[in-house]
Amino acid sequence: MSTINGTRSPQIAQRVAANALPLAMAAIVVVFAIAQPAFLTPDNLIGIVRQVALIGIMATCMTFVIMTGGVDLSVGPVLAIAGLVSFYCLQADLPLAVVILAGLAVGVLIGTFNGLVIAFLQLPPIIVTLATLSIVRGSALILGGPEQHLIRNEPAYSFIGAGSLFGLPFSIYIFALVAAVMIFVQRRTPLGLLVTAIGDNERAAHLSGHRTRITKTLVYAISGFGAALAGIIQSSQVHTALATYGPFGTELDVIAAVVLGGTSIMGGNGSVARTLLGVFFLGIVNNGMNILNVPIDIQLIAKGAIIVIALAIAARRS
């Protein structure tokens, strides 16, 4: 009898661990709401979504990279250079569509470069994208110099990051669209299944006839796309393009969101939808601590500790 009773509590524990992130999120929301009622106001909640939109877009777009067992450290400088390229296109009086496409194209190209080197030369993603990070940052500095480039009198462009539609910031719609597309691709298309398969066993995927190297290139291109889109939104939001946007640590926030969402850093199982949970978890923690006037140094330490605790709980699941 004892064995039968003994099996029940581990099952409950496992179920708790499997949903650790949503539960922790709920707990934190309750704590913040009690400590500072302003936390739960619609304005603040919308503010949270707006604040996480940039990291959220990059994280949903990087989830595939991490699912294949890779990582993309180059997103910060890509964000900066995409903003600069858009700025110069605006200056050249190009049509808005061209401006946006040019900014996005830079990100896709850099991502494709990452992917080609990683997939075809079979070099480790962490080193390749670290090198790209350096190359792109340097290129951005050459392109933009040290000064801020103000984006003035470009209402259409400014609408992307600063406008609002039906009472919500426009950037939230872009974030929602990107997230929806990525969730759809992951769950409902052969590409999503193939990405999981590559992360689980790349050789087996190759021997099953899949063009794994092309797929791997593609996922880095998607990550580059996400970073460039974030760069365009940011430059539009703050009416400025600057070579040092997306500073050191940006990529860590993005990776932390993906990993908090439960995607294994070793590749394989992962989920874009859960990455969103990770994004909001980090966003709520940041926002809550800001509202409670926690000093920035303490915030950094608390954030790091929370990430480790959340991962430790998630690791117990398996």
Shortest Cβ distance from residue 277 to other proteins (Å)? 20
Nearer to other proteins, 124 or 190 (CB): 190
- The CB-of-80 to other proteins minimum distance in angstroms stands at 33
84/118 with CB nearer other proteins: 118
CB of 127 to other proteins, least distance (A): 19
Contact 229, 111 (CB under 8 A): no
Please tell me the distance from the alpha carbon of residue 50 to that of residue 44, in angstroms, as a whole number: 10
**Cβ distance to other proteins smaller for residue 52 or 194:** 194
- Of 89 and 194, CB closest to other proteins: 194
- Residue 7: both structure tokens together: 């099996």
Residue closer to other proteins by CB (options 155, 209) is 209
Which of 134/201 has CB closer to other proteins? 201
Question: Measured from the CB of residue 269, what is the shortest distance to other proteins in angstroms?
Answer: 6
Smallest Cα–Cα separation from 66: which of 293, 269, 210, 286?
A: 269
Nearer to other proteins, 15 or 211 (CB): 211
What is the nearest approach in angstroms of other proteins to the Cβ of residue 203? 5
Minimum distance from residue 57 beta carbon to other proteins (Å): 21
Question: CB 275 → other proteins: shortest distance, Å?
Answer: 18
Residue 178: which of 65, 62, 25 has the closest Cα? 62
Nearer to other proteins, 209 or 295 (CB): 209
Nearest 5°: the CA angle 134, 137, 140 is: 150
* Cβ-based neighbour number of residue 173 at 10 Å: 15
Phi, psi of 289 (to 5 degrees): -70, -35
- Site for other proteins, rule CB under 8 A: 3, 7, 188-190, 192-194, 196-197, 200-201, 203-211, 268-269
At residue 164, φ and ψ (nearest 5 deg) are -140, 155
Pick between residue 271 and residue 287 the one whose CB is nearest to other proteins. Answer: 271
Kindly state the smallest distance separating residue 118's Cβ from other proteins, in Å: 18
